[in-house]
């Protein structure tokens, strides 16, 4: 007996699924790693096969029928992917994780041993990078970013996020710099000091505003792009850096950097952003990513709740 179930052609179905998840023909093409013209042909072919308009070409999304159909077929395709991953369980599930370099270098890398001990069946590949992952083309499973409050971020449809920690941010400098700098009694006094930054002044401006100091604009004494370069410059006595406990664990303990402020009463830390884990929505419940998300949330949360190192300046 012939199979009379109305299965659509698989190529057009995958193109439609990709379009529904990414909300764009070019983004769908990047995800599938095919030409965007092929995606367009597949979408037209599926609509012709179904006899129903699936794309709202005026609005740039899906029609009501297309949305309902996509919700159902996306679930089915995700189940096929999970079943295939389980079938191939003889191979270690691999996770490709991108991460903002400062967090990776100063905090995450030294804790990955405990992750591997707890989950020896997961092969985790960590890539520190300033670039935000384009999940549909980079083959990335998860991305960890530090997102400053109020600063616009490039949004990607179909991406979910989990906040890992909102650490307090405060200024630090080397003991030698503090001896040479003279009294720094108010937050406003910092504006007369050499302030070190990453790529721009946005972090400093946000922090100063949270402290009640109006600074419409400022030019950092040095822009060093990476957090670990900013901290290296601060250790050499070249100025004042803004940082948080995830970046300062060793420096505060060893005294190579100290918190800035009046003697015995350094300036309070304020949260101005959050370390955030980003994962494609269709992979959110993938078992290996659930384990990674749970582990990161627990370990980062416990660290953020711990006392912040010495407060002396």
Backbone dihedral angles phi then psi of residue 171, each to the nearest 5 degrees = -80, 145
Ranges under pLDDT 50 in the chain: 312-313
Question: How confident is the model over 108-148, as pLDDT tens digits?
Answer: 999 999 999 999 989 999 999 988 888 866 778 999 999 98
Residue 239 near residue 171, CB atoms below 8 Å? no
Q: How far is CA 18 from the centre of its chain?
A: 22
**Close Cβ partners of 113 (under 8 Å, ≥ 6 residues apart):** none
What's the Cα-to-Cα distance from 279 to each of 78, 109, 133, 194, rounded to whole Å?
Answer: 15, 20, 10, 38
Residue 96: count other Cβ atoms within 10 Å of its Cβ.
16
Spatial separation of the C-alpha atoms in residues 101 and 110, rounded to whole Å = 13
Which pLDDT value is given to residue 38? 92
pLDDT at residue number 281: 85
Nearest by Cα to 174 from 247, 254, 267, 272: 254
pTM score, whole prediction: 0.77
Domains in the chain: ranges and CATH: 10-89 (1.10.10.10), 93-312 (3.40.190.290)
3-state secondary structure of 91: coil
């Amino acid at each position: 007996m012939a199979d009379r179930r109305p299965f659509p052609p698989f190529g057009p179905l995958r193109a439609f699924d990709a379009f529904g998840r990414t909300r764009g023909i070019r983004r769908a093409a990047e995800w599938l790693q095919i030409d965007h013209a092929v995606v367009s042909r597949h979408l037209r072919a599926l609509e012709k096969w179904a006899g129903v308009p699936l794309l709202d070409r005026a609005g740039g999304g899906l029609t009501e029928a297309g949305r309902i159909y996509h919700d159902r077929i996306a679930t089915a395709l995700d189940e096929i992917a999970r079943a295939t991953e389980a079938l191939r369980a003889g191979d270690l599930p691999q996770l490709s994780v991108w991460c903002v370099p400062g967090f990776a270098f100063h905090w995450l890398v030294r804790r990955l041993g405990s992750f591997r001990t707890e989950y020896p069946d997961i092969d985790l590949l960590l890539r520190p990078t300033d670039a935000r992952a384009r999940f549909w083309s980079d083959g990335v499973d998860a991305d960890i970013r530090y997102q400053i409050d109020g600063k616009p971020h490039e949004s990607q449809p179909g991406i979910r996020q989990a906040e890992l920690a909102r650490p307090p941010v405060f200024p630090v400098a080397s003991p030698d710099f503090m001896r040479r700098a003279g009294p720094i009694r108010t937050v406003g006094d910092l504006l007369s000091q050499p302030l070190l930054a990453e790529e721009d002044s946005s972090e400093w401006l946000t922090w100063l505003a949270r402290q009640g100091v109006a600074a419409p604009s400022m030019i950092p004494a040095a822009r060093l792009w990476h957090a670990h370069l900013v901290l290296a410059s601060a250790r050499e006595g070249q100025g004042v850096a803004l940082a948080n406990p995830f970046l300062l664990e060793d420096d505060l303990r060893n005294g190579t950097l100290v918190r800035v402020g009046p003697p015995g009463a350094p300036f309070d830390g304020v949260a101005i952003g959050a370390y955030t884990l980003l994962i494609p929505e269709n992979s959110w419940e993938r078992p290996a990513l659930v384990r990674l998300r749970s582990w990161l949330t627990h370990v980062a949360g416990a660290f953020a709740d711990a006392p912040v190192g010495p407060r002396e300046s």
